[in-house]
Amino acid sequence: MRRLSLLFIILIVGGGEVLTAQELNCRVQVAAPTVSNVERRVLDALQTAIRDFMNDRKWTNDTYSLDERIECNLLLTVDEVSNNTRFKGQLQIQSNRIVFNSSYDSPILNFIDEDIDFDYIENTILEFQLDQNRGNLSSILAYYAYLIVGMDYDTFALEGGTPYFSKAQQIVVNAQNSPNVGWKAFESNKNRYWIVENVLHQAFKPLRQAMYEYHLQGLDHMYENPNTARVKIAEGISGLRKVHQTRPLSYNMRLFFLAKVDEILNIYSEAPPQESNSLFNDLQILDPANISKYNRLKSSN
């Protein structure tokens, strides 16, 4: 078992066998609110294909119990369909991480990839191999599966997600000759190429350390000692100043705060004034896009 801190619940079936599962519990929705030239059954088939691809495939060599699965959501919004087989749109990716000794799920990822285009024939099984690009849809899905898994592992061990980020990067390499967008460095500074490139770059190690401190050393101890837990969370956030110094307003930092802004506000809404004010000083530098929200940390004390 990989998450020793969460093994307080083990599901047992007859004979003492541990009930195991795949890594992801991914809920998938495919919507096409503005598209009229595609039949709903095609969208339903696409939705089923994506769900099966994410949930039925093994993404690691570790053993998971049912309660350890990573909860995640994919919302594919289709904006354009050509010949019932060519799809364009955007994909919202969300993933959560259970907090020890609680029923609370902490958000890890919550963002939208707007560079989604792929071919899909109804009732086709999606194929994927790590060493080659078998299709843009399966490559996108596998990329985000490894990203979700890698982010989750980073919250349980310092840089624990590296093997899975490396696999996501291999998918990027395989797609460099693809005509599809989202894979190349020159196309954007916030696409799939740059997300995983930044994760693995030396300059972003403090961000990965923050993920570890924030979750394993912080949130996981909120039940037993909330004061100490808040200190560790604040230390993790403060450590992001190192990233800001070399990569100010980077997209990966933006992704962190897109997922965490509301959670941070909830955690520190009743913190002592000195504590919340100190955190505010970091947040106004690290995440200026949400300064109007963080102002509540000052006005509430």
- Give tens-digit pLDDT for 61-76: 998 988 889 999 999 9
Residue 24 and residue 153 in one domain: yes
pLDDT at residue 82, as a whole number: 93
Residue 109 and residue 42 in one domain: yes
Instruction: Answer for the pair 68, 3: CB distance below 8 angstroms, yes or no.
Output: yes
124-157 pLDDT, tens digit per residue, is 999 999 999 999 999 999 999 999 999 999 999 9
pLDDT at residue 162, as a whole number: 98
Residue 139 and residue 210 in one domain: no
Helix ranges restricted to H, 106-249: 136-154, 162-174, 192-199, 205-212, 226-238, 241-246
Residue 28 and residue 63 in one domain: yes
Give the C-alpha separation, 155 to 126, whole Å: 30
Statement: residue 18 has pLDDT above 80: no
pLDDT > 90 in the chain, percent: 86
Residue 110 and residue 240 in one domain: no
Statement: residue 214 has pLDDT above 70: yes
Give the C-alpha separation, 206 to 9, whole Å: 32
Query: Lowest-confidence range among 146-150, 256-260, 297-301?
Result: 297-301
Residue 54 and residue 88 in one domain: yes
- Which of 131, 165, 195 terminates a domain? The answer is 195
pLDDT at residue 11, as a whole number: 34
Residue 25 and residue 112 in one domain: yes
Residue 96 and residue 241 in one domain: no
pLDDT at residue 9, as a whole number: 35
Residue 241 and residue 293 in one domain: yes
149-187 pLDDT, tens digit per residue, is 999 999 999 999 999 999 999 999 999 999 999 999 999
pLDDT at residue 300, as a whole number: 47
Residue 236 and residue 289 in one domain: yes
Query: In which band, very low, low, confident or very high, does the pLDDT at 299 lie, cut at 50, 70 and 90?
Result: low
- Which of 170, 195, 220 terminates a domain? The answer is 195
Statement: residue 3 has pLDDT above 60: no
Residue 63 and residue 181 in one domain: yes
The secondary structure of residue 2, as a DSSP letter, is -
Residue 180 and residue 283 in one domain: no
Statement: residue 12 has pLDDT above 80: no
The secondary structure of residue 185, as a DSSP letter, is G
Looking at the structure of the chain, the number of domains it has is 2
pLDDT > 70 in the chain, percent: 92
Angle between helices 136-154 and 162-174 (to 10 degrees): 160
The whole domain housing 153 covers: 1-195
- Which of 156, 173, 195 terminates a domain? The answer is 195
Give Cβ neighbours of residue 30 (< 8 Å, ≥ 6 apart).
43, 44, 46, 47, 50, 76, 78
